[in-house]
C-alpha cells in the first residue's frame, strides 16, 4: 500500500527530501508519490506540515 498526496499539498517540498527511495516528485499541480517506488515507510507523512499525505 503506497501513500498519496492530496490537493491540500502546498508544494513546499518537505516530503521530497525526506523520501529515502526518491519516490516523490513535483507533478502538474502538486507533489506526487510514485506507487511503484514507495516502500510505505511513512517518513513523508511526518514531514508534511499540512497533513496532505495519507495511505491509499
Can you give the residue ranges of every domain in the chain?
3-55
DSSP assignment letter at 18: H
User: What CATH number has the domain spanning 3-55?
Assistant: 3.30.70.20
> Helix, strand, coil shares of the chain as percentages rounded to 5?
20, 20, 60
pLDDT of the chain along its 56 residues, tens only? Answer: 789 999 999 999 999 999 999 999 999 999 999 999 999 999 999 999 999 999 98
Q: How far is CA 43 from CA 9, 28, in A?
A: 16, 23
What nine digits make up the cell of 18?
A: 525526506
At 56 the pLDDT is: 86
pTM, two decimal places = 0.91
At 32 the pLDDT is: 98
At 49 the pLDDT is: 98
Q: How far apart are CA 19 and CA 31, in angstroms?
A: 12
A 10 A CB-CB count for 38 gives 19
Amino acid at each position: 500500500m503506497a501513500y498519496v498526496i492530496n490537493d491540500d499539498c502546498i508544494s513546499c517540498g518537505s516530503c521530497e527530501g525526506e523520501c529515502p527511495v526518491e519516490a516523490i516528485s513535483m507533478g502538474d499541480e502538486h507533489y506526487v508519490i510514485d506507487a511503484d517506488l514507495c516502500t510505505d515507510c511513512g517518513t513523508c507523512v511526518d514531514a508534511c506540515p499540512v497533513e496532505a499525505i495519507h495511505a491509499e
